[in-house]
Structure 1
Amino acid sequence: MHDVAIVGFGPTGAVLANLLVKRGLRVLVVEREAEIYALPRAIHFDAENMRIFQTLGLAAALEPQVLVSPGMKFVDAAGRVLIDYTRSKDLGPQGWHASYRFHQPVLESLLRAHLAQHGGATVRLRHDLFALEPMQDHVVLRVEDTRRGRLLQTRARYVVGCDGARSLVRRLMGTELDDLQAHERWLVLDLRLKRPRPDLGDHSLQFCDPQRPATYVRGVGDRRRWEIMLMPGDDPQQLTRPEGIWPLLSKWIGPEDADIERPALYTFHSVVARGWRQGRLMIAGDAAHQTPPFMGQGMCAGVRDAVNLAWKLADVVQGQAAPALLDTYESERAPHAREFIETAVRLGGVIQDTDVERARARDARMAAQPEVFRTPTPPLGPGAHDGVVDGSVVGRLAPQPVMPDGRRLDDALGYRFAAIAPQAWLDALPADALGDDRLRRVATETADGQAWLQGCGVPALLLRPDRHVAGVAVDAAGLRMLVSRYVGGPASTASNAGRTAQATP
């Protein structure tokens, strides 16, 4: 029997599989397609995602394949800046650049190759899930091997649906979606340049033109993307043909400059699922939430789901925590994902306004004093941490300092809890129950420890495997309580998980 079955092998499912295998779990991946989709889809990820790829050991292979992005600007029909979302090209608090462009098939290939290299996962391509039967201590999966036309069944302790916006796992769970009421049809056009066009620039541009809202995105290498909002009277089928596409792009580019790689019609949705877990069934990625693309956070949110859920599943399966810990997955992630989606909806409201008079008033107001936009940094919702209060680092992603010798400090921690505290406090922890494979101890007297706590304003803290702060301590006794509560075995973890889950609205 498998420990965890993952339905769907896109970025969310592949990251989750890699993290679970890293913890020693037996993983099954079920994917209906035979190959990685070869054309562009997601093209942006952020520093937090790169930090997760670093945890997997993929950063060195990924760096040559990505482009550091300078950010995005919203401009009116006359080219005046309304919102400036420029990103620093310096390394940020996560130890990485704030924004990256990438080619999704390359990322997926690296994730799959890494999983195959390290073993521990059974991957079944061209296998289509059609039924789930939850039992007391496992789930029966019924699957069709579409290559051979055979019906199969297998078992897993837990099942995670990473199977996209039309998730079958979500439907079998009976989970409904909260609709944030932002649905617009857009034409997405991926092109490959035939010759250099440096005048197009590296910033993404949101053209807030009420006559025809549009987006330009610089991809990696010779790839460029335009997104064009459909207007009343448009013939969608005509607009996906070259004779319909090139007139839409004529102000920027023509057929002498580029080839059309992919035209696709999308309806941008904004939804959040209510109920990410039902017993042994869970959902992640687009199965749990969908966002308009105006912040480039769609794939980022799914990868965050994976890193939040993976260590919790591993702790539960390996007997380090009670199943109640899994309830903190939705309670922590749903408010976080919702804030990003609501922000994307607000930004979409700026670009998608097609009322000419209202847009003219907006332009005059915003162009006179452009808004400087910053990515929201919401804390986790209630869950496996001591609770979020103003000014506290608890429930938030800890920074990752880069040392003078170039080391990023996550590499010193490994994929586990970490207590960062004075050496005497660390010496007082119960070493017999907490080996180095479970808890990494970092003394504040060392350069590593000093770098971690710099700017946190606390003498000690406990980091979770996903690099969020579980709690802070002001003395040795407080540190012992933190470690007992979150690292010290099923009883303490179950108690805390139950308390925090009950606090969730």
Structure 2
Amino acid sequence: MSSNIDPAFQAHIQHDVAIVGFGPAGAVLANLLAIKGLSVLVLDREADVYRLPRAIHFDGECMRVFQTLGISDELMAQLFVSPGMKFVNAEGKVLIDYTRSVELGGQAWHPGYRFHQPDFEDVLRKKLEQYPQVEVRLRHDVFAITEHEDGVELRVEDTSCGRLLKAHARYVVGCDGARSTVRRMMGTELDDLNSHERWLVVDVLLQRERSDLGDHSIQYCDPRRPATYVRGVGERRRWEFMLMPVDDPTTITRPESVWSLLAPWVTPADAVLERPAVYTFHSVVAKGWRNGRLLIAGDAAHQTPPFMGQGMCAGVRDVYNLAWKLADVVQGHASETLLDTYESERSPHVREFIETAVRFGKVIQATDHEVVKKRDASMLANTEVFHTPQPALGSGAHEGGRIAGTVSVQPVLKDGTRLDDVVGYRFVLVANPDICSDLNVTPDERVAVIPAHDPSLKNWLESLSAQAVLVRPDRYIAGAASDVGKVQDLIQVFVGSAVL
């Protein structure tokens, strides 16, 4: 390569991780790896953030990830705390009550938030600028990937000028969406969960106050035209309409068609159309999230119907699970087999969310009047009060059992500090003070040891019937212990003998 080539593509430069795709999952992953000190190359074919709304909801567990990134306070000014969702039939009677508390939950954040994705991505990208070891290259399209014994070569086109380049990295993570190039090059197939329906998604900006529209999201389970209403941030509102057999997808996005559908709620005097677009809501899970030095995350690994608002959340959980494992492998703290626990843990976890969304889809998308009649009779007799599931991870880098593999709560200490802010992005051992005094563990950059003097920590341990709990950097519990010996074993197995 000539000397005037971008340094990120010099032949002697090998990045620790190359991330293909700079949407939310890719940007969160880049930030997490940067915190761990890894060198990262981010490649994206687009020139900028996509400026129209897409994802619109994330949960308290995701907000805890953003707390780790150091952007939660900045985000709060851009968010709306969501009170949840109701599923109603054609007569407006509630079939499923999916109301969320607007108080702080177990993650020390609210259970649900509405957001505007372009603003959110701007915050993620701005944060990444503080890390000099992260190189971001927009308008760079990956068209070939070759794996070698000690790394990966990526062939890249700089579409701003047509120049062909090569990049090198120890690992590549495809966060490049539903049509993932990385997934195709891995040879990974998709497991089809058999829910594929076309919907029209319409985003509007209100021009005047319309408090009567409400803050709850509403799923209109009406066989004549299933529809959804979502309250966004500020004056943003979204409606979604299922396409019916008589609809023409090429004309239904025309303003006159859209306003006809919106007529029960808003008129052109109330709002401005921001975006109408037809989407197919898919339900698939990849069968193979890792192939050697290639991995996938987010929509590249799974796609879900939107009826739980968990699409982006799943991608954020993916990269939170993966980032610390990549860092431990690259930095020599763990063998490469740790990366095999990524799919084994995440795949069954995300599948539960997708299968639940598919179940909701069957409720919402029913159009046969006899089926709907039976549905209403059954569900109205016992209205379902639904809560967001908190499944355990699949088998992997944890002990399993009742506690291990579940997401930990985040205690708020008596001085108002959230535990994660004390701990940082590393393992943490929260233990009875007596155990801490007998423990032969040296706290370092990989593990924090927190004696449970604070009442919130004492109460947490008591609720788990444990004397000590080891929590991973992604805030999932690695294991619990009742004595010093078991704590030493947990540290040895999951953190490594270097800290003992």
TM range (shorter): over 0.9
Match of 2:205 in 1: 192
Instruction: Report the Cα offset of residue 407 of structure 1.
Output: 1.3
Where do 4+ consecutive residues of structure 1 move more than 6 Å? Answer: none
Instruction: Report the Cα offset of residue 322 of structure 1.
Output: 0.2
Checking the alignment, whether the CA contact within 8 Å between 2:41 and 2:134 is kept in structure 1 is yes
Checking the alignment, whether the CA contact within 8 Å between 2:42 and 2:134 is kept in structure 1 is yes
Distance 1:22 1:336 in 2: 26
Superposed CA offset, 1:180-230 (max 9, x none): 000000000000001011000000000000010000000000000000000
Distance 2:443 2:111 in 1: 35
Which residue of 386, 394, 412 corresponds with 2:404? 394
**Is it true that 1:348 corresponds to 2:356 in the alignment?**
no
Partner SS for 1:92 = coil
Checking the alignment, whether the CA contact within 8 Å between 2:412 and 2:456 is kept in structure 1 is no
Match of 2:10 in 1: none
Instruction: Report the Cα offset of residue 154 of structure 1.
Output: 1.1
Which residue of 444, 449, 469 corresponds with 1:441? 449
Match of 1:40 in 2: 53
Distance 1:301 1:472 in 2: 26
Q: Which runs of 5+ in 2 are unaligned?
A: 1-13
Partner SS for 1:239 = coil
Which is further off, 263-272 or 237-246? 237-246
Which residue of 446, 455, 461 corresponds with 1:453? 461
Match of 1:214 in 2: 227
Match of 2:436 in 1: 426
**Is it true that 1:148 corresponds to 2:158 in the alignment?**
no
Distance 1:315 1:229 in 2: 45
Partner SS for 1:139 = strand
Superposed CA offset, 1:427-446 (max 9, x none): 44444xx5421110011234
Which residue of 89, 99, 112 corresponds with 2:125? 112
Instruction: Report the Cα offset of residue 456 of structure 1.
Output: 1.6
Q: Which amino acid aligns with 2:291?
A: Q
Instruction: Report the Cα offset of residue 451 of structure 1.
Output: 5.0
CA-atom RMSD, angstroms?
1.5
Superposed CA offset, 1:320-339 (max 9, x none): 00000000000000000000
**Is it true that 1:470 corresponds to 2:483 in the alignment?**
no
Checking the alignment, whether the CA contact within 8 Å between 1:442 and 1:449 is kept in structure 2 is no
Distance 2:452 2:488 in 1: 16
Distance 2:327 2:436 in 1: 25
Q: Which amino acid aligns with 1:405?
A: D
Which residue of 169, 174, 178 corresponds with 2:187? 174
Cα pair distance change 1:249/1:446, threshold 3 Å: closer
Aligned pairs for 1:490-501 (under 5 A) are none
Checking the alignment, whether the CA contact within 8 Å between 1:320 and 1:489 is kept in structure 2 is no
Distance 1:64 1:476 in 2: 44
Match of 1:71 in 2: 84
Superposed CA offset, 1:105-163 (max 9, x none): 01100000001023320000000000001000100011000011100001000000000
TM-score by length of 1: 0.94
Distance 1:420 1:115 in 2: 30
Aligned pairs for 1:245-264 (under 5 A) are 245-264=258-277
Which residue of 369, 383, 386 corresponds with 1:373? 386
Distance 1:238 1:277 in 2: 41
Cα pair distance change 1:468/1:84, threshold 3 Å: same
Partner SS for 2:50 = coil
Distance 1:118 1:138 in 2: 23
Instruction: Report the Cα offset of residue 372 of structure 1.
Output: 0.6
Q: Which runs of 5+ in 1 are unaligned?
A: 493-505
Superposed CA offset, 1:252-289 (max 9, x none): 11111101000111000000000000000000000000
Partner SS for 2:280 = strand
Partner SS for 2:77 = helix
Distance 2:42 2:417 in 1: 33
Distance 1:312 1:24 in 2: 13
Match of 1:410 in 2: 420
Distance 2:456 2:420 in 1: 10
Distance 2:172 2:423 in 1: 29
Superposed CA offset, 1:57-80 (max 9, x none): 111100010000000000011111
Partner SS for 1:441 = strand
Which residue of 289, 295, 310 corresponds with 2:308? 295
Which residue of 175, 199, 203 corresponds with 1:162? 175
Q: Which amino acid aligns with 2:489?
A: M
Distance 1:182 1:250 in 2: 29
**Is it true that 1:333 corresponds to 2:341 in the alignment?**
no
Q: Which amino acid aligns with 2:417?
A: R
Checking the alignment, whether the CA contact within 8 Å between 1:409 and 1:448 is kept in structure 2 is no
Instruction: Report the Cα offset of residue 447 of structure 1.
Output: 4.4
Distance 2:366 2:433 in 1: 58
Checking the alignment, whether the CA contact within 8 Å between 1:142 and 1:152 is kept in structure 2 is yes
Checking the alignment, whether the CA contact within 8 Å between 1:29 and 1:121 is kept in structure 2 is yes
Partner SS for 1:40 = coil
Checking the alignment, whether the CA contact within 8 Å between 1:53 and 1:59 is kept in structure 2 is yes
Which is further off, 172-181 or 442-451? 442-451
Aligned pairs for 1:234-253 (under 5 A) are 234-253=247-266
Partner SS for 2:194 = coil
Distance 1:75 1:423 in 2: 51
Q: Which amino acid aligns with 2:43?
A: V
Q: Which amino acid aligns with 1:411?
A: D
Distance 1:342 1:369 in 2: 21
Superposed CA offset, 1:323-366 (max 9, x none): 00000000000000000000000000000000012112211222
**Is it true that 1:138 corresponds to 2:151 in the alignment?**
yes
Instruction: Report the Cα offset of residue 237 of structure 1.
Output: 1.6
Distance 1:489 1:142 in 2: 39
Partner SS for 1:72 = strand
Match of 1:306 in 2: 319
Distance 1:451 1:457 in 2: 10
Q: Which amino acid aligns with 1:12?
A: A
Distance 2:121 2:285 in 1: 25
What is the percent sequence identity of the aligned residues? 63
Q: Which amino acid aligns with 2:424?
A: G
Which residue of 27, 32, 39 corresponds with 1:26? 39
**Is it true that 1:15 corresponds to 2:28 in the alignment?**
yes
Match of 2:490 in 1: 482
Instruction: Report the Cα offset of residue 452 of structure 1.
Output: 4.2
Match of 1:495 in 2: none
